[in-house]
Structure 1
């Protein structure tokens, strides 16, 4: 029975390989012999239909076969967008950095920086966690930090860009996310009774992310940590700030 099942599995695997090979052959045949205009038109059709993986294959073929063709920069811009839609962060960032390096003065360079921010921001999101309403603000913030820098560069370098307003809104979201990450770190230090480290981390929220919803939590952590450290004056100063700004804080009850 085992030998029969094993044999059937091998047959199915062989058929799958044959199907993949045949499919790839059809795709290669479909791309071969076409002019740059024909390939680009095919890629645009795939993009419009939402078939971004097929669009990328066509665009990559066009980019490799006709690197100096009439659509060379638009091909690269389309690839950046298609990789973003496919959630292929590594390929997206690689193509974005390549474009910036080769076309630093291109009229659409602001769009490319904007897409870099979007791509890094996308890498920081966990759709499953959002769907299940799971708080994972304690995850590695590197992509969020990179996205914040990308949007900041866009705003400072191209203040009149049509993408600036959206970038500003996204930066506010990222500030909240990064501030909450620092709160999670400070809370971890509290559990470890590392009171000085907790106070320093909470203070960094006040300095780097003022005005975010995490501010109240940061002040409460600072007050608690100063109390444990015997820093009565610092604790009292912090409680005064809390009373003035957050009179309903549980710490005042």
Structure 2
């Protein structure tokens, strides 16, 4: 029985491959479309795309074109070719504004660009483009079934941009350019007041102010110690139970000790 089942499966596979090969060589566009549709329904997207790409120019303007172009865009998306799926879903949405699939196409075009967003440390051109496209979708379809997902993706992408901006500011602390770190971290907090990285930014500003102060020349030390103390107060006001509390308190103790020298 097992052997019979294996033979049956192999026969189906061979027939399927045969059908695909015949469609590839056929001059009949209808045969290619029928085979491509079957492959699409079986989730064989790469093979379906080969045929869709062959016949797409011939079907432009024809009644079958709407379904064909939708399946083509979906095939790119399902096969993770997001640059192409973004382009083709965008073209579908523009070309078929009255289609029942237009809302989905707008969303998947935008989502495709978000799927190309790289890790935060790399160039974020695709992230910016994805946010722009998703915001266009949100504005166009405020009652969409995809609205919540679109907003969630935008939040994640914006957090990625904030992470990059924060790391760019913090790097000055790492390379001991403490003056630049203080300015960069101040600018970061001003630019992203609600950022999830605010606690870290305030801590690294404190650390930079502290390091700048204790390594200062005598004539600048008092003012810089007071600036560092102010940074400590700002961090504690923002989050009294900060995960950096022990380190911050150690810095404060040193700051207070040093400041006593100026109160004699």
**TM-score w.r.t. structure 1 length?**
0.70
Partner of residue 145, structure 1? 128
* Cα distance change of structure 1 residues 238 and 55 upon mapping to structure 2, 3 Å threshold: farther
- Note if contact 1:243-1:252 (Cα within 8 Å) is conserved in structure 2: no
Matches within 5 A, 1:229-248: 238-247=231-240, 248=242
Is 2:35 the partner of 1:28? Answer: no
Provide structure 1 residue ranges, at least 5 long, that are not aligned to the other structure.
1-22, 126-135
* Cα distance change of structure 1 residues 49 and 224 upon mapping to structure 2, 3 Å threshold: same
- What secondary structure does 1:137 align onto? coil
Alpha-carbon offset, residue 77 of structure 1: 2.3
Alpha-carbon offset, residue 34 of structure 1: 4.2
Partner of residue 17, structure 1? none
**1:90-135 residue CA offsets vs partner (Å, 9 max, x unmatched):** 322332343344345655443233212321222225xxxxxxxxxx
Alpha-carbon offset, residue 33 of structure 1: 1.2
Alpha-carbon offset, residue 51 of structure 1: 1.2
Is 2:169 the partner of 1:176? Answer: no
- Note if contact 2:83-2:112 (Cα within 8 Å) is conserved in structure 1: no
Take 1:200 and 1:115, find their aligned partners in 2: how far apart are those partners? 40
Across the aligned residues of Structure 1 and Structure 2, the Cα RMSD in angstroms comes to 3.3
Take 1:122 and 1:102, find their aligned partners in 2: how far apart are those partners? 23
Take 1:208 and 1:78, find their aligned partners in 2: how far apart are those partners? 42
- Larger Rg: 1 or 2? 2
1:121 corresponds, among 114, 123, 127, to: 114
Alpha-carbon offset, residue 170 of structure 1: 1.4
Alpha-carbon offset, residue 244 of structure 1: 2.7
Take 1:231 and 1:40, find their aligned partners in 2: how far apart are those partners? 74
* Cα distance change of structure 1 residues 40 and 246 upon mapping to structure 2, 3 Å threshold: farther
Partner of residue 111, structure 1? 104
Alpha-carbon offset, residue 148 of structure 1: 1.9
- Number of matched pairs: 219
* Cα distance change of structure 1 residues 83 and 192 upon mapping to structure 2, 3 Å threshold: same
- Note if contact 1:83-1:89 (Cα within 8 Å) is conserved in structure 2: yes
- Which deviates more from structure 2 when the two are superposed, residues 224-233 or residues 108-117? 224-233
2:79 corresponds, among 50, 73, 86, to: 86
- Note if contact 1:155-1:168 (Cα within 8 Å) is conserved in structure 2: yes
- What secondary structure does 2:116 align onto? helix
Partner of residue 16, structure 1? none
**TM-score w.r.t. structure 2 length?**
0.67
Alpha-carbon offset, residue 39 of structure 1: 4.3
